[in-house]
Each structure stands twice: as structure tokens, then as C-alpha cells.
Amino acid sequence: MLNWVLYIILPLAGLTLGWTIRWLYARYLSTASEQQAEHIKQDAIKEAEAKKKEILLEAKEQAIRERNQQERETRERRVELQRYERRVMQKEETIEKKTSQIEKTEQALATKERNFQEREAALEKEEERYRVELERISGLGAEDAKAIIIHNLENEARHDAQGLINKIEQEAALSAEKKAREILVATIQRLSTEVTGEVSVATVILPNDEMKGRIIGREGRNIRTLETLTGVDIIIDDTPEAVVISCFDPVRREIARVALERLIIDGRIHPARIEEIVTKVSKEISQKIFEEGEKVLFDLGIHNIKQDTIRALGRLYFRTSYGQNVLYHSKEVAILAGILAAEIGANRELAKRAALLHDIGKGVESDSDLNHAEIGMDMARKMGEDPRIINAIGSHHNDMEPSCIESVLVQIADAISAARPGARRETLDNYIKRLENLENIAAGFVGVEKSYAIQAGRELRIIVNNEAVNDEQSRELAKQIAKKIENDLRYPGRIKVTIIRETRIIEYAR
């Protein structure tokens, strides 16, 4: 029984006691939390009140500062306005004083004007009286006297004006002549070019005299082949270790010289090798012609030139005029014309271009009877050059009238270049002209393919078409050409006419 009480009553009593303690503890905690919250609330209210007072205090201080600032600005503006008022008052006083002075001045001027009017009226009366008296004494009216005076003044003015004009013209002529001399002298002094003269022969040095026999070949076939292909005359005489190439055409002479030097170095001298070398050298000379034309254009700074024109310029490298290299002459004329144009204010680039092209007709391969100026004009016209350049080309030998100042400058530059000491030799040009006439006479006959004036003009070598001309016709053709040379040309000694008729058959073994 006691055990039952212990097992039931004691646990119940413990449980009841635990719940009672827990409830009391919870009640205590709740009361403490409420008290703490109340304390926090009171602290927050106090802090908010303090903040409020602080903000109000700052707002009052800011309002006081702004009010002080406004009062200070107001005082400054009031002082500034007072200063402006004083300045305005001073200006008004000054204006009043000036107005008073102006009124006094106007009154004085009005008085002077009245005095002047009175004096003017008196003078007019005196003038009228003198005029009437002069008319009475002279017996002339006022209009007649005025006409006489005007006529006399007009004559005097014309005399003085004519004298002044004559003086100005004389001074202008003297100064223009002096200025022109100064420009020409300065231009010539600024030009620095070489004087180059071409000759009609070239010498090829041989390693030994035995080479002469190899050049001639068996029965002369090597030398004949070389002369036929190049159109030159190869002179082999007693001169030790040298042969001379004679031809008035520098291109042919250069081809023959280079080809012969290469054959000598190569050692294989026979007709087939000669033909191969001559063909190769001809191509190289053609390339050199183009390169020489481009070089001159680059040196002068001239652009937009077509290839045909460049080649025509390059061919001038192998042309001479009175012994003067035509390409160097054209370059020199271009430099001179450019300097002259710059001195007088003309178109410098146009003058240079026209001067460079003025002898372009000499480099054109043409069978026309026109002179080089007319051929050059046609070429420039086809190339679309400026009309002023075309006129400069056509007028540089006065074949036509110059149409612009640049054409005149080209004439002057051409004359300067040709007239410089040592620039030209007239005898050489006459000699070359005679050789050209020889070739032209032969070329005018039917059946003639090529003609070469060799032996310094003492022989005319002609190659005919073997199909168009037979052996009998070749003999007759030689007589006709010789007869025409006798009738049309004047020359010393005699000229040998040689007709070459050759049949060449080529076949390939495959």
C-alpha cells in the first residue's frame, strides 16, 4: 500500500510543482520584458525630443545667417546704386555744360555764316563788275573766252601727256630690255648640262689581229651578214687590233657595235650566230630607247605621257642635230623654258612639257613628207595634248604663229640651247641630211625594202624584194636610182649604188 502511494502520489506532486515553477518563471519573464520595452520607449521619446530641439536650433541659426547675408547684400546694392546715381548726376552735369557750349558755338557759326553770305554777295557783285569790264575791254563774251581757255588748256594737256607717254615708253623699253637680259642671263647661268656631240663612226677594240680574219669569215660571209643585218659599213684596215663601224644612223651603229663586241667575246662567229646576236641586241636597244625616254620624264617631273610618246622621246637619244644629241637638247630646252616661265609668271609645267615635245617629230618613224614640226603636231594631237602644246610644237621654227606666251618661251629656249658655244656643228647636220636624202631617194622606188647609206655617203646599199624584182630589173633599178641621185643631189666625188637581191628559204627538220 505504501509502495502504491509512493509510485503515484510523489510523481504527481513533482509534476504539479514543476508546472507551478515554470508558470512563475514565465510570469516573471513577461513582466521584465514589458518593463524593458517601456524603458526603451521612454529613451526613444527622449532622444526624439533632443533631436527635434537640435534641428529647430540649426534651422534658427540658418535663418539668422541667411537674413544676415540678405541684409549685407542689400547694403552693398544700396551702396552701388548710390554710386551709380552720383555718376549719372555727374554725366548730366557734363552734358548740360557741353550743350551750353554747343549752343554758343552754333550762335557763333550762324553769325559767321551771315558774314560769309554778305561777303559772298559783295564778291559776286565785284565779279560781275569785273566780268562786264573784261568783256568790254576784250570784246569777247564769257562763253567765247571760256572756249578759248579750254582749247588752250586741252592743247597743253595733250602736249604734256604725249611727253609723259614718250618718257614712259622709253623707260619701259629700257627696263624691259634690261629685265629680259637679266632673265636670260640668270636662266643660262642656272642651267648646267653637258655638251654632247655624236660622231658617225664607232671603234671596236679587238683582242688581237687574228680576230679580223674571223670577223671577215670564209669568202667574207660573216662581215657581209653583219653589214646586211645592221645596215652599217664595217671598215677593216691596217689599224692594229681595231675595226671601225661607219653609219650615219646611231641606232644601227650601236646595234652593230654591241653585237660585234658580244661576238668577239663569245668567239662563235658565223652567220647563224650573227643573226641571233643582232636580233637579241636589237631588242635590248629597243628597251634602252624606252628607258631613256622614261629617265628624261622622271628627271623633269613630267607625267601622264603615253608609251608611244615615251618611245619617240627615247629614239631622240640616238638622233643628232648639228652634232647635238636631240634628246639632251629637248631636256635642256624643257629646263630653260621652265625657268623662263617661272621668272615671268607663265605656266611652268605647260612650258616644260611643250619644250620637251617640241622635237618629238624627229623621233617618229614616218614616211611622210611633212617636216618634224608638223609630224610632232600630228602626234601630239593624237595623244590628246593641250592645244597650246600643239601650237608650241608647230611654231618653234616659226612655221606658224605662236598663240600663247608658252610657245614663245619654247622658241627662246630652243634658240638658247642651240646657240650655246659648242652645242652644235653645222657640217655634221648637213652631212647627215645628205645621207638621209640618199636613203629617201632609194626608198621611193618600187620593190625596195630597205636602203642604207654607208661608207660616209659614198655607197648606197639597197635590199630589194626578190619576188618583185628579178636580176634584170635589179640592174635597171640601180641605173635609175643613180640617175635620180645625179639629178636631185649635190655631192662631192661619186656614189656607189649596190643592189642586193637575196632568196632565203627556211625549213625545219622534225
Q: Are 402 and 358 in contact (CB under 8 A)?
A: no
The neighbouring-strand residues paired with 462 are: 451, 499
**Which whole-number Å values give the CA distances from 153 to 161, 165, 504, in the listed order?**
12, 18, 97
What would the grid cell of residue 31 be? Answer: 513582466
Question: Could you tell me which of 194, 168, 189, 192 has the C-alpha nearest to residue 343?
Answer: 189
Q: Are 355 and 393 in contact (CB under 8 A)?
A: no
Query: What pLDDT score does 323 carry?
Result: 62
Q: Are 406 and 350 in contact (CB under 8 A)?
A: yes
Structure letter (DSSP) for residue 509 = -
Sheet holding 448-454, edge to edge: 448-454, 459-464, 496-501
How many Cα neighbours within 13 Å face the side chain of 326?
23
Query: What pLDDT score does 198 carry?
Result: 45
What would the grid cell of residue 280 be? Answer: 637579241
Question: Whose grid coordinates read 675595226?
Answer: 243
φ, ψ dihedrals at 208, nearest 5°: -160, 170
The neighbouring-strand residues paired with 496 are: 459
- The Cα–Cα gap between 190 and 341 comes to 14
Query: What pLDDT score does 371 carry?
Result: 73
Query: What pLDDT score does 197 carry?
Result: 42
- Residue 406, judged by CB atoms within 10 A of its CB (0-12, 13-18, 19+), counts as buried
Q: Could you read off the pLDDT tens digit of each residue along the chain, which spans 510 residues?
A: 556 556 677 677 777 887 888 787 777 777 767 777 778 878 888 888 888 888 888 888 888 988 899 988 998 999 999 999 999 999 988 998 999 899 888 898 988 888 888 888 888 888 888 777 777 776 666 677 777 778 777 878 877 777 777 777 676 666 655 565 556 555 554 554 544 444 445 778 888 878 888 888 888 888 888 888 888 888 887 777 788 888 767 778 888 888 888 888 888 888 888 889 889 988 888 888 888 888 888 888 888 888 888 888 888 887 776 567 788 888 888 888 888 888 888 888 988 888 888 888 887 766 666 777 888 888 888 888 888 988 988 888 777 888 888 888 888 888 887 765 545 554 456 667 778 888 888 888 888 888 888 765 768 889 888 888 888 888 888 999 988 888 887 765 568 888 888 877 777 776
SS3 258: helix
Query: What pLDDT score does 419 carry?
Result: 64
Query: What pLDDT score does 180 carry?
Result: 59
Say what the alpha-carbon torsion angle 360, 364, 370, 371 is, to the nearest 10 degrees. Answer: 40
DSSP output for 450-492 = EEEEEGGGTEEEEEE-TTT--HHHHHHHHHHHHHHHHHH---S
Q: Global pTM?
A: 0.46
